[in-house]
Amino acid sequence: MATVKEIYSFIDKIAPFSTQEEWDNSGFLVGDEDKEVNRILFALDITFDVVNQAINCNADLIITHHPIIFKPVSNVLSDSLIYKLIKNGISIISAHSNYDKAVDGVNDILCKTINASDYEKVEDTCLNIAYFENSALVEDFALYLRGKLGGVVRYNFIDKKISKIAVCSGSGSDYLTLTKELNCDALLTGDASHHVFLDANEMGIALFACGHFETENIAIKPLADKIENNFNVDCILANQNTPIITI
């Protein structure tokens, strides 16, 4: 029977926690590392709904992408997620930026999902460069991305064809300047603000904001599959959708 610690060690081998960004808080965050694990629930985010799903399916462990704790916690009260997890004996492991940049991690899976003909990692970043054999107009590529990832794709109009694209799942708009320095035609990420789109226009870079959920949730099942193939545990995907509603 696998323990929480053994599951953590396995994730550490395929996506070393030591590689996470300085601002991140990936790792073993809640629970008992020696507890035996029969069932794991996988989710992008920890919410009360996800915790209730874990309780209802008798999960011993929840593995998430986004950490439940980012900032120091000043108290743990009876109406908090952490209290509810501890009360029900459920542990939490979160693999965030370490899984983003890992081999076969989130950004690699994103490149494969959009059928890049080739891709490479940019050292010391959470950024990939994806290459496409056939160049495409910006508006055509936006439609292509919507078909591959679902959801809503926001983009700016740049009058050029694109074939070399910087790719960063989630919130990667901070890589816009690096995208320009790397001579990429475009940046594909999840979130981007109004001002980042303005900056992209000034730089002549096409910017595709394809949704934080849509660019990251695609990597949850592959992680569950790896663990299920290496441990005698039940691996269940949480029923979770983007919290953003569009009309």
**Residue boundaries of the structural domains of the chain:** 4-99, 103-215
Question: What radius of gyration do the chain's Cα atoms show?
Answer: 19
pTM (2 d.p.) = 0.95
- Asked if residues 175 and 187 have their Cβ atoms less than 8 Å apart, the reply is yes
pLDDT lower than 70: segments of the chain: none
Please give the CATH superfamily to which domain 103-215 belongs.
NIF3 (NGG1p interacting factor 3)-like (3.40.1390.30)
Please give the CATH superfamily to which domain 4-99 belongs.
NIF3 (NGG1p interacting factor 3)-like (3.40.1390.30)
Q: What is the pLDDT of residues 141-175, one digit of tens each?
A: 999 999 999 999 999 999 999 999 999 999 999 99
Amino acid 93: pLDDT: 98
Q: What is the DSSP string of 61-88?
A: EEEESS-S-SS--S---TTSHHHHHHHT
Amino acid 211: pLDDT: 97
Amino acid 246: pLDDT: 87
Q: Strands 234-237 and 186-189: what pairing?
A: unpaired
